[in-house]
Structure 1
Amino acid sequence: MVQAKYCAAKEKAMAEVKQAAYVSLTSDMWTSINMDGYLGVTCHYVTAEAKLATVLLCVSQFPQTHTAAHITESMSVLMTDWGISGKIHCMVTDNAANLVATAQLLKVRHVPCFAQTLNLVVKKAIDQTPKLQEIRQKAKKIVSLFRSSCNAKEKLSEMKQLMGRPVQKVVQEVDTRWNSTYDMLQRLYDQREAVGAALSNLNTEVVPLTSGEYDIINECLTLLLPLKHVTTEMSAEKTVSASKMIPLYRMLQHNISEKSTKVTREESIQLGRLR
């Protein structure tokens, strides 16, 4: 039944894609938790009703080495299968050399992913702010405790209820998504009293964050908030994003420059200078 549903859905999607005059592609290589390589390709186009549409062309296992030649071969077969070889306007990928070279071999205009570039910029800025990096590592250990220990999880939930705080889970960051670091620190800051009380009632070697470190988090989050908004805006699927890049970039420059003049902690000032 699943195979039949898949074939019917693919046939319908192919018919819709073939009606598009031009399409754009987004593509990425990724590795599963079992260390299997995969190629993901998504097609974007505008319908006759002037609405944005997206179709996932494939998430295929990729056992070959991730060279540009091998990726180009797979992409060529995929493009022929979907009947889009002659109408690709551009291909958006990250800055990986093999994917940039793939676009060149396919003779397709390459556009670097703005959100991924922004992700790299923010991660580098955080990495080059030693104290913030230290706080981040402490935060990851705290979150890991509350996500892996039933006793710790129950104690935190108990403390939140006693303090009248919303029962929300702590957030663990994902290394490849800087905004998950923002979400982790923001959630810990919002629940700092309950987190501190829970840790003090647990037999653990995990070191709690100090009030000074929470002050640093608060100021750094203020600086990073515009970047968080831009990352979310550029990740939208139902609105045009390419035309927003330059205005958003200018707004980021202005906004972060303005916020940098209002922070007082040395670590926040250092983070702001890395813009």
Structure 2
Amino acid sequence: MMRHLRSTHPAILQCAEDGNIPPVPRPATDTAGPSKQGRQRELDEALVDMVVKDLQPFTIVEDEGFMAFVNKLDPSYVLPSRKALKTMVTERYNISKEKTMEDLKKADFVSLTADMWSSINMDGYLGVTCHYITPEAKLATVVLGVRRFYQTHTAQHLMEAKALLMAEWGITTKVQCMVTDNASNMILSAQLLNLRHVPCFAHNLNLIVKKALDQTPLINEIRQKARKIVGLFRSSCKAKDKLVEMQGLMGRPALKLMQEVDTRWNSTYDMLQRLYEQREPVGAALSNLNSDTAPLTSFEYNIIQESLSLLQPFKLATTELSEEQRVSASKLIPLYRMLQHKLSQKKGQSAQESTAQLGTHLQEGLHSRCGGYESFRALALATLLDPRFKNVGFGNPAKAQEAEKQITLECASLMRSNTATPEPQSTSGPSSSSSTTTSTTETQDSLWKLFDSRIHVPRRYTVPQQMPQ
């Protein structure tokens, strides 16, 4: 009743709240009932879309400002209650889930990615995402579930939780591989499910850089000093205001300093880069503050500059993988080779002993964690079949030839088993697929420069040029 009064008779409700109850008007005949109901359903659907897309809470329909805004837009629309909105969102989820399950029935194979994390309140969560190819040859992704994980994080419990999700979505027999981080319980849970395990490349890059930074004492000391400086300007209003004042006097943009996060190495890169860019305003602000926080020296800023140059290829690779909306497995071998090349190139330009040491640790970590990618059958075949890379993406010609033999054998086997089946018509794909690789990095210190140069060289021989090992 109150909901009806608020939306349809706000004047009467206001009078009632003020103690002045007007005479009840005679109800008018509603000649536009069906159209009004249609408009109500249309706006209800739009409200559900907004809540789902923008991750809004169900209580938004009880917010006074939102209610007034909606009433101004359409006084005839009756907002649903919080419970009714929750029911509507649940119904939308069930409809979407049924449609997705129908799509998954048409998929021959799927792959999964899984991750575990803890919230701010230290509640454990397990997230599983499914990836598959539609009959229209398009990559599709669906989140199977993000579940609160109450049990201990053992491989057995993880396996059981993943098996339940796979059974719920009807894909138990279709899963070909599972991508996770390198945690032992995650790897073992995939083995218990008899699934091929593929380590997450972005997570490997994170481990490589974190370990290399920790192994370089001087750079580690500079990081600690940098964290203390950033902490001062992010925790003290006086220090922050002084920095903004110095930035204004020097004609610099009023940018905040960025603090490092232990679990993400790229936050270390962002912290050092911002601090280096704002080194002059930061130094001036520190000199005007009564603080025991020591500023970085010019020598230490030189170390930071060379370190950023070494870490930039890893930053570019991490960003590219994070933005990837297509199949990324075929990129891993070429990315590994490009990182090798850029790292070797930039290490040779290092003038300081500590940054040369950092470069050595990065090379060792990259080889240790990613050196076996070309021997990984799934990754090798994916690279070979990707029209952007084919066998040019390999650094070892023998591994490229081995992948070609495997593809040839599989094709021959398929041809023998499908001799009575007519060949499907070829579907047109992107004609300039190599541009997909280069478009995102042309304006940067290109990670793909060497690869692009090999692709654009006219070929006079049947054996393609390989990437450096």
TM-score, with structure 2 as normaliser: 0.56
Map of 2:158 onto structure 1: 71
Please list every run of at least 4 consecutive aligned residues from structure 1 whose deviation after the TM superposition is greater than 3 angstroms.
Answer: 47-51
2:313 is aligned to 226
Amino acid at match of 1:212: F
Number of the residue aligned with 1:19: 103
Q: Could you list the per-position Cα deviations for residues 64-108 of structure 1 after superposition, in whole angstroms to 9, with x for gaps in the alignment?
A: 110111111111111122222222121100111111111111122
Cα distance in 1 for partners of 2:249, 2:333 equals: 47
CA distance 1:55–1:6, change in 2 (3 Å): farther
Name the counterpart of 2:385: none
- The answer on 1:136 being equivalent to 2:223 is yes
SS at match of 2:145: strand
- Give secondary structure in 2 for the equivalent of 1:181: helix
Opposite residue 160 of structure 1, the aligned amino acid is Q
Structure 2 CA distance for aligned equivalents of residues 94 and 191 of structure 1: 35
Structure 1 position 239, deviation (Å): 2.3
Aligned to 1:193: 280
Amino acid at match of 1:9: Y
Q: Which residue does 2:116 correspond to in 1?
A: 29
SS in structure 2 at match of 1:107:
coil
Distance 1:198 1:212 in 2: 19
SS in 2 for 1:92: strand
Matched, 1:95 2:182: yes
Give secondary structure in 2 for the equivalent of 1:174: coil
Richer in strand (by share): 1
Partner of 2:92: 8
When residues 129 and 189 of structure 1 are mapped into structure 2, their CA distance, relative to the original with a 3 A threshold, is same
> Using a 3 Å threshold, how does the CA distance of structure 1 residues 145 and 69 change in structure 2: closer, same or farther?
same
Amino acid corresponding to residue 351 of structure 2 in structure 1: T
In structure 2, relative to structure 1, the CA distance for the partners of 1:270 and 1:11 (3 Å cut) is same
Instruction: Supply the distance in 2 between the matched residues of 1:3 and 1:208 (Cα, whole angstroms).
Output: 57
Number of aligned residue pairs: 275
Structure 1 unaligned regions, length at least 5: none
Aligned partner of residue 131 in structure 2, secondary structure: strand
Give the letter aligned to residue 8 of structure 1: R
1:254 aligned onto 2:254:
no
| Contact 1:18–1:83, Cα closer than 8 Å, also in 2 | no
Higher Cα radius of gyration? 2
Q: Please list the CA deviations of residues 147-205 of structure 1 after superposition, one character each: whole Å capped at 9, or x if unmatched.
A: 22222222212211211112222111221111111111001001111111111222222
What is the distance in 1 between the residues matched to 2:98 and 2:234?
43
Question: 2:148 and 2:292 mapped to 1: Cα distance?
Answer: 42
Q: Which residue of 1 aligns with 2:327?
A: 240
Task: Check if 1:273 corresponds to 2:360.
Answer: yes
Q: Distance in 1 between matches of 2:98 and 2:329?
A: 25
> C-alpha distance in 2, partners of 1:188/1:237?
29
Match for residue 152 of structure 1? 239
Deviates more, 1:30-39 or 1:16-25: 16-25
Amino acid at match of 1:109: R
The Cα of 1:47 is off from its aligned counterpart by 3.2
> What is the aligned partner in structure 2 of residue 209 from structure 1?
296
Q: How does 1:36-185 map to 2 (within 5 A)?
A: 36-185=123-272
Provide the rounded CA distance (Å) in 2 between the counterparts of 1:240 and 1:67: 30
Bigger relative contact order, structure 1 or 2 (CA pairs below 8 A, ≥6 apart): 1
Q: Distance in 2 between matches of 1:53 and 1:206?
A: 51
**1:17 Cα deviation after fit:** 4.7
Find the aligned partners of 1:139 and 1:258 in 2 and give their Cα distance.
Answer: 27
Distance in 2 (CA, whole Å) between partners of 1:201 and 1:107 is: 63
Which residue identity lines up with residue 253 of structure 2 in the other structure?
P
Larger displacement relative to structure 2 (256-265 or 46-55)? 46-55
Deviation per residue, 1:105-138 (Å, 9 max, x gap): 1122110111111111111111111000011111
Q: Which residue of 1 aligns with 2:8?
A: none
Moved more, 188-197 or 29-38: 29-38
CA contact (8 A) 1:68 1:101 kept: yes
Distance 1:51 1:207, change over 3 A: farther
| Contact 1:13–1:55 under 8 Å retained in 2 | no
User: What secondary structure, in the 3-state scheme, does the structure 1 residue paired with 2:282 have?
Assistant: helix
Shift of 1:46: 2.8
Q: Per-residue deviation at 1:14?
A: 4.6
Give aligned-pair identity as a percent: 63
State the superposition RMSD in angstroms. Answer: 1.6
DSSP-derived class of the 2:112 partner = strand
